[in-house]
Structure 1
Amino acid sequence: MSAAELARELDISHALASQHLRRLDAAGLVELAEERTRRGGRERRYRTVHGSPLSDRSEATPLLAETLAHALRERAGRRVDGSEGVTVDAELWVDPGIWQDVRRRLAELAAELHDAARPPRTPGTMPVGISVMAFPVEETTQARPGSGSGTT
């Protein structure tokens, strides 16, 4: 999105959207996707960076989890009644090789969906929500109900 598109989508000022995009760009979380001339001016369109440092740094995990939880609550409230989806929440014990394969495939699927994304409200598209956070967890000394059983 461009700063103007982002401002319209979030109902904020163009200046604020532009400032946020500059900061996200400086942090390596978005990148310039396209620059074009529009109405006599220069429009810069940005996209998020796949596998950005924030998404893979363990010290950022609690903050990222809180952000995802907030986004998920908001999006879940807008879910289309009766629509198909996939919901998974699990803490499982699996072979390390299986974990590596599944982690790779999840990353590939997320990248595929991300690459297919178009600007909001593009004719012929539909909005979808996706939140994925999968990682190894430390073993606890106490068993919790429903954890580790391999079924959820």
Structure 2
Amino acid sequence: MEGTDKDAISSLRSVAHPVRLRILSMLTAQPMSAAEVARELDLTHANASYHLRVLHDAGELVVESKEKIRGGTAKRYRYVVGGDPTRPPGPPSVEDGIAWQQATHVEIVRRMAHRVKGPSSSSDIETWVTPETWRAAIDLVSQAMVLLHDQAQPARTEGTLHVSASSQAFVMGDPE
């Protein structure tokens, strides 16, 4: 396997963990240090540092700033939607995509336990549509997800709602 293929797989697998999915969601709105992530997610500092390092090494996080704290240096990490722009594009393997979906499923189930009454949407479909319809649907879903990422606020900001949104949409091959 070529080096660039290994890098892409490593990046996807780094995200395929429920804690790391939560970290990426939190770091969309604001940069945070390992200590802040640990407090917010009720993790040990060492565990938060480990997960942040894995995500950073895979190109999913950037170091936004560094500050001196008690003789050490605290890095503040931030998630840049779309990941590392220097990472080669390309689809993940089916196995890596399934691993990511399984981790996402665990995270969505955790979130559902905290669901409250309010505006929501849930949908599932497996069907056939024209390429034009598919493109229009994908564009709308993408716009909604970009809006949510762009407007994400720091956790517990006054006047905000704690929300969850997930999206999976893909073209399927015919069953054999």
Query: 1:1-152 residue pairs with structure 2 within 5 A?
Result: 1-32=32-63, 34-35=64-65, 37=67, 43-52=74-83, 57-59=92-94, 60-80=96-116, 82-140=117-175
Cα distance 1:83–1:133, how it changes in 2: closer, same or farther (>3 A)?
Answer: same
- Give the secondary structure class of the aligned counterpart of 1:130: coil
The residue identity in structure 2 corresponding to 1:86 is: S
> Which secondary structure state, in structure 2, belongs to the residue aligned with residue 46 of structure 1?
strand
Q: Which has the larger radius of gyration?
A: 1
* 1:148 aligned partner: none
Contact 1:28–1:49 (8 Å) recurs in 2: no
Give the letter for the 2:65 counterpart.
Answer: E
Distance 1:45 1:87 in 2: 34
Q: Distance in 2 between matches of 1:96 and 1:89?
A: 19
**In percent, how many aligned pairs have the same letter?**
36
Aligned partner of 2:62: which letter?
E
Higher helix share: 2
Superposed displacement of residue 51, structure 1: 3.0
User: In structure 1, what is the Cα distance between the partners aligned to 2:74 and 2:82?
Assistant: 25
Equivalents in 1 of 2:159, 2:128: separation in Å? 41
Q: Give the superposition deviation at 1:58.
A: 4.2
Please list every run of 5 or more consecutive structure 1 residues that lacks an aligned counterpart in the other structure: 142-152
Question: Matched residues in 1 for 2:152 and 2:34: separation?
Answer: 17
Greater relative contact order (Cα < 8 A, sep 6+): 2
Tell me the CA shift for residue 48 of structure 1.
2.6
Counterpart amino acid of residue 15 in structure 1: A
Equivalent-residue separation in structure 2 for 1:12 and 1:63 (angstroms): 23
CA displacement at 1:140 relative to structure 2: 2.6
Q: Identify unmatched segments of 5+ residues in structure 2.
A: 1-31
TM-score of the two chains, using structure 2 as the length reference: 0.67
